[in-house]
């Protein structure tokens, strides 16, 4: 596993996580509008994919 690759993934994960927090703001995660927001769903999906990629790379050490 290349250090640059994992650092890039971690940076992308952190940036996307921050974007999600800014977009959700103070809304309750149980708020139907928040749960069904298409942009949030896509961002969350992308975050999951990045985390899984990072985990699979970490397991190959």
The count of structural domains within the chain is 1
Mean pLDDT value across the chain: 84
Q: Which of 12, 21, 18, 3 is nearest to 57 (CA)?
A: 3
- pTM as predicted: 0.76
User: Tens digits of per-residue pLDDT, 28-57?
Assistant: 666 667 667 788 889 999 999 999 999 998
Domain residues for 7? 3-59
Has residue 12 got a pLDDT over 50?
yes
25: left (phi over 0), alpha (psi -120 to 50) or beta: left
């Amino acid at each position: 596993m290349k250090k640059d690759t994992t650092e890039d993934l971690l940076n992308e994960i952190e940036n996307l996580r921050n974007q999600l927090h800014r977009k959700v703001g103070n809304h309750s995660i149980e708020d139907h509008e928040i749960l069904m927001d298409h942009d949030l769903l896509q961002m969350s999906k992308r975050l999951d994919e990045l985390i899984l990629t990072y985990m699979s790379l970490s397991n190959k050490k």
